[in-house]
Amino acid sequence: MARIALPIATFLAAISTLGVAMAQPDPVSTRKEGLRRMQTNLEAIGAVANAGGDTRDTVPRAEEMVAFFRDLPAFFPPGSNGNGSRALPAVWSERAGFERAAANATTAAEALRAAAASGDAAATTAAVRAMGASCGACHRNHRSR
């Protein structure tokens, strides 16, 4: 019985591992789609603020940005610089700088969320600009053109 049980257990373990490996999303596709969504969110928040609209309606978009940028480094695991990625090697070779840029983006997104929640269109417009500057600062050092 033990001679049969061990191969069956090994086979089942291999299949479950394969299933987990197959279920893992491609980090490049995940981050590219996420970053496009963040750009869409930022543009939408900016449009409402520039039109003098009720920026409180954009808080869910800003909250999504906070959560995304807080997790940003996890979307850049080692070895995920292929498959159409424009990430520069500095993302991995100078990881502390990249993580600092992600933290700055998180801080900017939190300020954007607070401005949007206040309903102050002018403050939200300023926070949109600051968020854009944070994105640009990261791109200058960590993304190829």
Kindly report, residue by residue over 84-125, the tens digit of the pLDDT.
899 999 999 999 999 999 999 999 999 999 999 999 999 999
CB contact at 8 A, 142 and 90: yes
User: Could you tell me what percent of the chain has a pLDDT over 90?
Assistant: 79
- What's the pLDDT band for 42 if we cut at 50, 70, 90? very high
Is residue 99 marked as binding? no
Q: What is the mean pLDDT of the chain?
A: 90
Going by C-alpha positions, the residue among 71, 127, 79, 78 that lies closest to residue 99 is 71
pLDDT of residue 20: 45
CB contact at 8 A, 58 and 1: no
pLDDT digits (tens, 9 = 90+) for 44-53: 999 999 999 9
Is residue 142 marked as binding? no
What are the domain boundaries of the chain? Answer: 26-142
Q: Which CATH number does 26-142 carry? A: 1.20.120.10
CB contact at 8 A, 68 and 30: no
pTM for the full predicted model: 0.82
Query: Rounded to whole angstroms, how far apart are CA atoms 4 and 108?
Result: 59
Q: Which residues pair with 87 in a beta bridge?
A: 143
- What's the pLDDT band for 83 if we cut at 50, 70, 90? confident
Q: Is the pLDDT of residue 59 over 90?
A: yes
Is residue 82 marked as binding? no
Q: Is the pLDDT of residue 142 over 90?
A: yes
